[in-house]
């Protein structure tokens, strides 16, 4: 798989506080890639710089070292190719749902006709099932609906890559579950390349192809890359019935609870190629057995 975006040697350091001597690195030597059409989740505890990594990918923040390549070209600043779904929706409160999306559509296609713009807006609203709420202001919507508008706004510009910063963390459990299903469906339908930050293991298992496990900060790095061994299509209500579910889940949770601290201090291997693990991957069934069945 050709990487659409690749992160090479990324680090973020902050100037030392008074009394300190060296600059404090939040994360260091972070390498990973996201392939075209792939869904990658990054999991880690607070303080490991997850949001900073996403902001660097979005072009909103600058890294202290390292580069981000899109199609082998280094990025400089934000781009319409990389749409961001913000943690707190970030809708413009003085605009209606429709006009919030129009703001994005007109940024992407400034010279499109009124009809074409309107069609794109309607399609995006339909995609997140908000038809009928076009004229409402964000303040009149529930938290889940606001986040749907945020998703519609990001998808409306047909980005090459979607960046999501814990998009469901501010929602109640029921709404979160429904939205996760929607995002799973949307990403599968559109084959959307997506990078998402989360601290919800089930969310990552439902959505991701690969899960990047990050050690604790400071000096956080990527400790492991976990391949999601539960095959698609995955559905929230029967995900746990798959034999790979518990091995995978236990592996990630064990990491978060026990190993995220040690892994940071353990001697690092090659930071460019963190170990790839496939928990719960059954050994291939011998051909002969297949025949007998």
Partner 1 sequence: MGSLPVRAALLSVMFLAVFVAAWHLATLPTTVGAPMDPEYAKLMGATATQGKSAMPTPRDVGVAIVSHLVDPFFDRGPNTKGIGIQLGYSIARVLLGFSLAVIIGVPLGFVIGMSPLMHRALDPFIQVLKPISPLAWMPLALYSIKDSALSSIFVIFICAVWPLMINTAFGVASVRREWLNVARTLEVGVWRRSLAVILPAAAPTILTGMRISVGIAWLVIVAAEMLVGGTGIGYFVWNEWNNLSLSNVITAILFIGAIGMALDQGLAWCGRLVSYAE
Among 157, 214, 222, 223, binds partner 1 (CB under 8 A): 157
27 binds partner 1 (CB under 8 A): no
Among 51, 64, 79, 178, binds partner 1 (CB under 8 A): 79
CB of 23 to partner 1, least distance (A): 24
85 versus 213: smaller Cβ distance to partner 1? 85
- Please compute Rg for the chain using Cα positions: 20
273, with CB counted inside 10 A (0-12, 13-18, 19+), is exposed
264 binds partner 1 (CB under 8 A): no
CB of 12 to partner 1, least distance (A): 17
Three-class DSSP category at 81: coil
In this structure, are residues 205 and 228 in contact, taking their beta carbons and an 8 Å threshold? yes
54 versus 277: smaller Cβ distance to partner 1? 54
**Residue closest to 256 by CA, chosen among 208, 224, 210:** 224
**# of chain residues touching partner 1 (CB under 8 A):** 24
In this structure, are residues 252 and 226 in contact, taking their beta carbons and an 8 Å threshold? yes
Among 88, 199, 236, 259, binds partner 1 (CB under 8 A): 88
99 versus 236: smaller Cβ distance to partner 1? 99
d(CA 188, CA 157): 18
In the 3-class helix/strand/coil scheme, how is 109-128 assigned residue by residue?
Answer: CCCCCHHHHHHHHHHHHHHC
d(CA 236, CA 177): 8
Among 5, 26, 58, 187, binds partner 1 (CB under 8 A): 58
93, with CB counted inside 10 A (0-12, 13-18, 19+), is exposed
CB of 135 to partner 1, least distance (A): 15
137 binds partner 1 (CB under 8 A): yes
83 binds partner 1 (CB under 8 A): yes
What's the token pair of residue 174?
Answer: 């029921």
169 binds partner 1 (CB under 8 A): no
Expressed in angstroms, the distance from the first to the final Cα of the chain is 34
Site residues for partner 1, 91-120, by CB under 8 A, read: 92-94, 103-104, 107-108
In this structure, are residues 35 and 3 in contact, taking their beta carbons and an 8 Å threshold? yes
Among 139, 174, 289, 292, binds partner 1 (CB under 8 A): 139
d(CA 220, CA 202): 23
CB of 284 to partner 1, least distance (A): 44
Place of tokens 């719960």: 280
53 versus 104: smaller Cβ distance to partner 1? 104
In this structure, are residues 7 and 32 in contact, taking their beta carbons and an 8 Å threshold? yes
157 versus 222: smaller Cβ distance to partner 1? 157
CB of 185 to partner 1, least distance (A): 24
Interface ranges with partner 1 (CB under 8 A):
58-60, 77-80, 82-84, 86, 88, 90, 92-94, 103-104, 107-108, 137-139, 157
């Amino acid at each position: 798989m050709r990487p659409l975006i690749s992160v090479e040697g990324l680090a973020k350091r902050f100037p030392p506080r008074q009394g300190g001597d060296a600059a404090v690195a939040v994360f260091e030597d972070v390498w990973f890639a996201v392939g075209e059409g792939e869904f990658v989740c990054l999991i880690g505890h607070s303080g490991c710089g997850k949001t900073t990594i996403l902001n660097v990918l979005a072009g909103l923040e600058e890294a202290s070292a390292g580069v981000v390549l899109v199609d082998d070209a280094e990025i400089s600043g934000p781009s319409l190719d990389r749409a961001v779904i913000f943690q707190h929706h970030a809708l413009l409160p003085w605009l209606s749902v429709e006009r919030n999306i129009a703001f994005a559509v007109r940024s992407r296609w400034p010279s499109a006709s009124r009809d074409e713009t309107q069609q794109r807006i309607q399609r995006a609203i339909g995609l997140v099932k908000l038809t009928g709420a076009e004229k409402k202001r964000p303040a009149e919507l529930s938290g889940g609906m606001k986040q749907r508008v945020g998703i519609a706004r990001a998808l409306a510009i047909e980005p090459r890559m979607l960046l999501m910063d814990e998009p469901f963390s501010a929602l109640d459990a029921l709404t979160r579950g429904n939205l996760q299903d929607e995002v799973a469906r949307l990403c599968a339908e559109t084959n959307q390349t997506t990078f998402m930050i989360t601290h919800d293991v089930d969310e990552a298992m439902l959505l991701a192809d690969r899960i990047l496990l990050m050690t604790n900060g400071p000096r956080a790095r990527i400790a492991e890359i976990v391949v999601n061994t539960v095959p698609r299509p995955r559905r929230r209500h029967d995900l746990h019935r798959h034999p790979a579910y518990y091995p995978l889940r236990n592996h990630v949770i064990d990491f978060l609870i026990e190993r995220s601290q040690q892994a940071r201090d353990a001697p690092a291997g090659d930071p460019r190629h963190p170990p790839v693990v496939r928990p719960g991957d059954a050994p291939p069934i011998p051909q002969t057995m297949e025949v007998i069945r």
